[in-house]
Amino acid sequence: MDDLIAFLHARHDDARRAMLEAQDADEPGWYQAERDLQAKRARLKYLEFVLAGHHLAVEEHAQAEHLLRLEAAAYDWHPDYRSDEWLP
């Protein structure tokens, strides 16, 4: 899961750079992109917390892994996406 988490952090970093470029160019929609990215980062932070094993049941851990894979599926077009390992 560490590789998948790193992959998602990298995609969020890519999105942040694109959002900042849009903001600098005063393109419409950059604020919505920023809010969307904040939500994605918050979900990833929570899933990392769960996967770190903070006194949660095995079922919750398995569910967090599945949700993490669902988050990553949005980037299945990316060349670094490992469909054999990360497919939900």
Q: When comparing pLDDT for 76 and 62, which is higher?
A: 76
State the virtual CA torsion across 64, 67, 73, 79 in degrees, nearest 10. -20
The pLDDT of residue 35 is above 90: yes
Q: Residues 52-63: what's their mean pLDDT?
A: 80
CB 81 within 8 A of CB 7: yes
The reported pTM is 0.89
The pLDDT of residue 59 is above 90: no
Q: When comparing pLDDT for 52 and 76, which is higher?
A: 76
Q: Residues 17-22: what's their mean pLDDT?
A: 93
Q: Residues 72-85: what's their mean pLDDT?
A: 96
Number of domains within the chain: 1
- Provide the domain limits for residue 11: 2-86
